A = this chain, B = another copy of it.
Amino acid sequence: MAGQREEIEATLDPSDWGEIRQLGHRVVDDVSDYLQTLRDLPVWRPIPEEVRRQFKSSVPRKPEGAAKAYEDFRSHVLPYPLGNHHPRFWGWVNGTGIPIAALAEMLAATINNNTWGGETSPILVERQVLEWLKELLGFPQEASGLLVSGGSMANLVGLAVAVDAKAGFDVAEEGLSAAPKRLVLYASEEVHSSVDKAVRLMGLGFSALRKIPVDDEFRIDISQLERAIASDRADGLHPFCVVGTAGTVNTGATDPLNQLADIAQREGMWFHVDGAFGALSALSPALKQLTSGMERADSLGFDLHKWMYLPSEAACTLVRDSEAHRRAFSTHAPYLSKQEGGVTGTENPFNQYGIQLTRSFKALKVWMSIKEYGSDKFAEIIEQNVEQARYLAGLIEESSHIELLAPVPLNLVNFRFVAPGMSEELLDTLNQTLLVRLQQSGVAVPSQRLIKGRFALCVANTNHRTRREDFDVLVREVEKIGLELLGESETNPSITESATKPRSTWEAPGRGVIGVKGLM
Q: Are A114 and B84 in contact (CB under 8 A)?
A: yes
A27 to B364, CA, bound (A): 14
Which of chain B's residues have a CB closer than 8 A to the CB of A88? none
Which of chain B's residues have a CB closer than 8 A to the CB of A23? 100, 103
Q: Are B110 and A102 in contact (CB under 8 A)?
A: yes
Q: Are A119 and B47 in contact (CB under 8 A)?
A: yes
Q: List 24 A-B contacts (CB under 8 A).
A: A1-B469, A13-B464, A31-B110, A55-B127, A59-B132, A62-B376, A64-B372, A65-B372, A66-B368, A76-B121, A82-B118, A106-B106, A112-B305, A150-B357, A150-B359, A174-B207, A175-B208, A176-B204, A203-B204, A312-B358, A313-B358, A313-B359, A340-B436, A343-B439
Which of chain B's residues have a CB closer than 8 A to the CB of A182? 175, 177
Which of chain B's residues have a CB closer than 8 A to the CB of A101? 109
Counting CB contacts under 8 A, is A211 at the interface? Answer: no
CB of A297, distance to nearest CB on chain B (Å): 20
Counting CB contacts under 8 A, is A509 at the interface? Answer: no
Which of chain B's residues have a CB closer than 8 A to the CB of A369? 12, 69
CB of A381, distance to nearest CB on chain B (Å): 5
Flag the segment in A32-40, A259-267, A400-408, A416-424 that touches B.
Answer: A32-40
| Contact A201-B355, Cβ < 8 Å, known A80-B120, A112-B311, A520-B2 | yes
Counting CB contacts under 8 A, is A425 at the interface? Answer: no
| Contact A6-B467, Cβ < 8 Å, known A176-B176, A312-B359 | yes
Flag the segment in A89-97, A218-226, A239-247, A288-296 that touches B.
Answer: A89-97
Closest to A91 in B: B343
Counting CB contacts under 8 A, is A178 at the interface? Answer: yes
Flag the segment in A227-235, A316-324, A329-337, A482-490 that touches B.
Answer: A329-337
Counting CB contacts under 8 A, is A480 at the interface? Answer: no
Closest to A309 in B: B12
Which of chain B's residues have a CB closer than 8 A to the CB of A69? 100, 367-369, 371-372
Counting CB contacts under 8 A, is A449 at the interface? Answer: yes
Closest to A102 in B: B109
Interface size class, chain A: 35 or more
| B-facing residues in A183-231 (Cβ within 8 Å) | 183, 192-194, 196-198, 200-208
Closest to A128 in B: B55
Q: Are B9 and A435 in contact (CB under 8 A)?
A: no
Counting CB contacts under 8 A, is A447 at the interface? Answer: yes
User: Which listed residue (B21, B51, B113, B206) contacts A28, Cβ 8 A?
Assistant: B21
| Contact A341-B449, Cβ < 8 Å, known A97-B112, A176-B203, A358-B313 | no
User: Which listed residue (B2, B25, B64, B357) contacts A151, Cβ 8 A?
Assistant: B357
Counting CB contacts under 8 A, is A325 at the interface? Answer: no
A464 to B9, CA, bound (A): 9
Which of chain B's residues have a CB closer than 8 A to the CB of A504? 341
Q: Are B12 and A331 in contact (CB under 8 A)?
A: no
CB of A61, distance to nearest CB on chain B (Å): 5
A250 to B131, CA, bound (A): 35
CB of A492, distance to nearest CB on chain B (Å): 17
Which of chain B's residues have a CB closer than 8 A to the CB of A332? 193
Question: B-facing mask of A359-381, CB < 8 A → 1, else 0?
Answer: 11000110111111111110011
